[in-house]
Amino acid sequence: MQISSRFTLAVHIFACIDAFKDEYKITSDFLAGSTNVNPVIVRKILGQLKAAGLVEVARGTGGASIAKPLNEITFLDIYKAVECVDNGELFHFHENPNTKCPVGRNIHFILDDKLKKVQDAMERELASITLEDVKKDTEKYIGK
């Protein structure tokens, strides 16, 4: 299992918006230049972040901006905005385990609580990191 690149692209987008907000108009084309992905993908991610109330996007030539203070936006907020997690569950169970098999019949009882603990731990860690942390590291590495 691997979390899609939408999450890291979204964090990259936030870092660019913050780093360059005073120098450039932050458009999907500008962001595509930094992320090296198609502007259509950038627009889709911006739309998801906008729907979550994390960015503001002015259509046309307006550009994108961050909607809340950086210390109020966590990695968990971003993850929830851009990841397609069915029913809020990180782990997707394989379809139709064999109910005639004692393991197949009981696999949910065997794994559900363990997988929930793993997801809860991941979400706690994501909630502990903010975009302010990213800003500090961005400034350290790019010298802004």
pLDDT band of 87, cuts 50, 70, 90:
low
Cα–Cα distance for residue pair 112/13, rounded to 1 Å: 34
What's residue 61's pLDDT?
A: 67
Which pLDDT tens digit goes with each residue over 23-32? 999 999 999 9
Query: What does the pLDDT look like over 37-84, one tens digit per residue?
Result: 999 999 999 999 999 999 999 877 678 999 999 999 999 999 999 986
By CB atoms closer than 10 A (0-12, 13-18, 19+), residue 28 is buried
Which residues are CB-contacts of 1 (< 8 A; sequence separation ≥ 6)? 90, 91
CA distance 117 to 113: 6
On whether the pTM is more than 0.95, the answer is no
User: DSSP string covering 53-113, please?
Assistant: TSEEEETTTTEEEESS-GGG-BHHHHHHHH---GGG-SSPPPS---TTSHHHHHHHHHHHH
